Structures are given as structure tokens and as C-alpha cells.
Copies of this chain bind each other. A is one copy, B any other.
Amino acid sequence: MSGDRRVHTSVPDTETAIDRNLPEFPAAKPIDEDNYFRLHKPPPYLSQISRDVADFINYHHLQKRKIVLVTSGGTTVPLENNTVRFIDNFSAGTRGATSAEYFLENGYAVVFLHREFSLLPYSRHYSHTTNCFLDYMTESEDGKVEVNAEFQKEMIVVLRKYRHAQNNNLLLLVPFTTVHQYLFTLKLIAQELSVIGSDALFYLAAAVSDFFLPSSRVPEHKIQSQESGGKLVVDLEPVPKFLSRLVDSWAPISMIVSFKLETDSSILIKKAKGALERYSHQLVIGNLLQSRKYEVVFVTKDSERWVRLSQEQVDAGIDIESLIIPEVIKLHKSSIEEKKKMGL
């Protein structure tokens, strides 16, 4: 028996998902987008989300408010059914949470489809920092918990914005953890948003896994490491290119913005253009892991344009999203006008 371990392909139940020999793989054959949704069960909580999303969209539709779906954070790919191990995509959710704030400030209603426990609009200022929750607090002379004086001035501004969004029902939080939940929820929200047509904007900032483990191959229990020398081999299938479905059939009239995150600057623009050509949507925002907080590149069919913070802006702690969002909104406006001319 070899020390190698591989997670296997659609196998009868009697077989274990763990094969310590090298299995013979069928030729890699990507799962088609539609097949993905046929072959996998939707998350059980989806009907509840469906109601919340429909209510939210109808409410703003009546008020003729534009709605943006912001996706944020990384998706996980469980390697076991009772999940102990999973593959994750790096993302604290900073881009998504910050962008959502600027959309709200610019009059949009926001559906925030985010990785559970990733950063949230407004609260992001106080989580995932070196300060823990209680470091913001102090005990007053009369034995009450108080927010430290040093945080008061900024926090009241943030709190008011957060309460404004809440009180006006402008922000709907929808969580996901796995790539599976993400795909089903995205499809659902897209179909609900089709009601408002060109007034809907998709701003897909989540770090979605390119690979997944089909449910037929996910072992029920924790993968056991061997007593000695056991290696783990995980082989994953490419995630269906759901973006083509989004553009073609779920939300054909809406404007779609996707992100391309790379670490190698020499291939960033090529990859962004590739995505744009493949899916024929409106805009890819390219960014490098190393410099993503200071510069991004807008890649459209006809142009590529860098949006950068100046050194003064960096020093002043300006969010690059405060430059990105107004640019995206301009493009959304043009897109709406264009669609109207076409009678859509």
C-alpha cells in the first residue's frame, strides 16, 4: 500500500472516499453550471433568505432606489463532511465591507453577501484589529461599562452612519461559508434582483475558490492521517464558471463588476482582459495582493485605467474605495441610460 492518499471520484457508497493507491481519474471534465445546481442540494436555509431578499428588493424597488449586491470575503471548500479541514481563500473582507459603506453613502441599498465573521460595513473599524472588544471599554466611577474617551469622537460618526443604514432598511446582511452556499445564494439573489433590471449592480468582491470537491467525493468523517509516512493528496474540480450564467441568464440587463486578484503583476491585466472576454460583462477591477489597498486597475472592453491613492491620501488614511465606488457608479449610470435607449 502506498503512503499516498487521494480523495476520489463519484464512487459507490461502499467504497471509502480515501484511496491510498493512486486512482485512475476520468479525464477532467468541468461540471457545467446548470449541472452544478442540479447535482447539489441547496443549503437548507435558502428559503428563509429568499423571503428576506425579496422583501428588501421590493421595498427599494417601490422607492426606485438602486440596489447593489456586494459579495465579500473568501469561500471555503470543505474537505470532509463533518468539517474539520477545509481549503480557504485569503480575504478578511476589507474590500467588500469598505465598498458597501461608500455605496450606502452614495444612495444605494446594499445586499451584503459575505463570509460569516468576515468584516462588516461600519463594524469593520472595530474588528480584526489588534484591539479586542474589551480594549475599547472602560469602567466608569459608578461601575458602568463605557466606551473609552479616546474612541468616542470617531465612533459616534460611524455609529450614526450604521444606525442610519439600519433604520432605513438600507443594508441586508446575508452570510455564507462554503463556496457551495455562495453559489446557491448568489444565484438566488441574482434572480430576485432581475425584477429591477438595469437598476441592479453586481459588485463581486468575494474571493471565490476556483476549485471545489464534488459532494460525491467528500468523505463523511475526518480524513485519518496514517501512523507514519501518510501523505494527503486532495484533488479538486474547477468551480463552474457561474459568471457566464450570471451575465447570460440570471441578470442579463444588470451591470456586473468582477474582481481579479493576482500576486504576479506581469499577468494581472492579461487575466482581467481574459475574464472580460470570456464573460462579456462590463468591468473587471484588477488588483495585486501586495498593493490592493493603494491601487486597482479598471479594465473594460476598450480601456484600462489605474485608480491610485496619492501619497498624501495614503498618509491621511483615505480608503481607496472612496475613489473606486464613485467611478463604478458613473459607469452604472451610463449602463442604465444605454439599456433604457435599448428599451430594456
Q: Which residues of A contact B (CB under 8 A)?
A: 1-4, 20, 22, 25, 27-30, 76, 79-80, 82-90, 92, 117, 120, 122-123, 125-128, 130, 132-135, 137, 139, 143-147, 151-152, 155-156, 158-160, 162-163, 207, 209-211, 220-222, 224-226, 228-238, 261-264, 267, 289-290
Closest-CB distance, A227 to chain B (whole angstroms):
8
Tell me if B1 and A130 are in contact (CB < 8 A). yes
Can you list 24 residue pairs at the A/B interface with Cβ under 8 Å?
A3-B28, A3-B92, A4-B25, A4-B28, A79-B87, A83-B90, A84-B261, A86-B87, A88-B88, A117-B128, A127-B127, A127-B133, A134-B158, A145-B155, A145-B156, A146-B146, A211-B225, A211-B231, A220-B263, A220-B264, A221-B263, A222-B261, A222-B289, A226-B238
Cα A152 to Cα B87 in complex, Å, equals 39
Closest-CB distance, A86 to chain B (whole angstroms):
6
Cα A225 to Cα B298 in complex, Å, equals 22
Given that A87-B88, A133-B127 are contacting pairs, would A228 and B144 also be in contact in the complex, using a CB cutoff of 8 Å?
no
Closest-CB distance, A172 to chain B (whole angstroms):
14
Chain B residues near A231 (CB-CB < 8 A):
25, 28, 211, 235-238
Chain B residues near A92 (CB-CB < 8 A):
3
Tell me if B85 and A89 are in contact (CB < 8 A). yes
Cα A132 to Cα B171 in complex, Å, equals 13
Chain B residues near A87 (CB-CB < 8 A):
79, 85-88
Chain B residues near A134 (CB-CB < 8 A):
122-123, 126, 158-159, 162
Q: Which 7 residue pairs spanning A and B have beta carbons closest together?
A: A3-B28, A82-B263, A123-B132, A210-B225, A126-B133, A28-B229, A221-B264
Cα A229 to Cα B189 in complex, Å, equals 28
Given that A3-B92, A210-B232 are contacting pairs, would A289 and B155 also be in contact in the complex, using a CB cutoff of 8 Å?
no
Given that A133-B123, A234-B234 are contacting pairs, would A86 and B76 also be in contact in the complex, using a CB cutoff of 8 Å?
no
Tell me if A263 and B28 are in contact (CB < 8 A). no
Cα A221 to Cα B299 in complex, Å, equals 22
Cα A82 to Cα B288 in complex, Å, equals 10
Question: Nearest CB to that of A120 among chain B residues?
Answer: B132
- Contact pick for A233, options B88, B226, B235, B289, CB 8 Å: B235
Chain B residues near A209 (CB-CB < 8 A):
85
Question: Nearest CB to that of A3 among chain B residues?
Answer: B28
Cα A90 to Cα B25 in complex, Å, equals 28
Question: Nearest CB to that of A278 among chain B residues?
Answer: B227
- Contact pick for A263, options B80, B152, B263, CB 8 Å: B80
Chain B residues near A76 (CB-CB < 8 A):
88
Cα A263 to Cα B79 in complex, Å, equals 13
Chain B residues near A28 (CB-CB < 8 A):
2-4, 20, 229-231
Known A120-B132, A123-B133, A146-B147; 5 more pairs at CB < 8 Å: A30-B229, A117-B128, A127-B133, A139-B156, A146-B146
Given that A82-B290, A83-B90, A88-B87 are contacting pairs, would A263 and B222 also be in contact in the complex, using a CB cutoff of 8 Å?
yes
Cα A283 to Cα B261 in complex, Å, equals 45
Question: Nearest CB to that of A125 among chain B residues?
Answer: B133
